[in-house]
Amino acid sequence: MNKRILVLATLVFAFAVAGFAQAKKQTTKAEPVKYELAAIKVESAVCNSCANTIEKALKKVGGVKSAKVDIDKKVATVKYVATKANLSQLETAIANAGYDANDTTRNKAAYDKLDACCKIDGDM
């Protein structure tokens, strides 16, 4: 009788392992993440402190992989997942940090809190 239980247990285990292996084969691989690249004008950014503030604000947006501001060119380059973020959200994040972004005007309250070196001539 013990041999029958042992054989039965072995068969059940073998079928379970085979079923798991088959189920694992049938799972499909996840699609690779597709990134978008955006170049956003940040004309009101004037120094490295501005660049750091903008980069930090952008990195808080869900789906942003990287953000880099070129102060000389006054452009923020953002790599992001298009299914998780969009250009409008990126521009809003920059504006909410106190800077103009493309045609999106900076948030005045945020701008007022910036260091003096980060404020452009001709206050808002």
Decide: 61 and 85 in contact? Cβ < 8 Å: yes
**How many whole angstroms separate alpha carbon 83 and alpha carbon 94?**
20
Decide: 43 and 100 in contact? Cβ < 8 Å: yes
CATH of 35-118, one of 3.40.50.2020, 3.40.50.1370, 3.30.70.100, 1.10.510.10: 3.30.70.100
Which amino acid, residue 88? S
CA 58, chain centre distance (Å): 8
Comparing 7-11, 56-60, 66-70, 86-90, the range with the smallest average pLDDT is 7-11
Q: Please tell me the pTM assigned to this model.
A: 0.73
Q: Average the pLDDT over 59-78 and give the result.
A: 97
pLDDT single digits (tens) 18-61? 666 665 555 567 778 889 999 999 999 999 999 999 999 999 99
Q: What percent of the chain has pLDDT over 70?
A: 75
CA angle 81, 86, 88 (to 5 degrees): 155
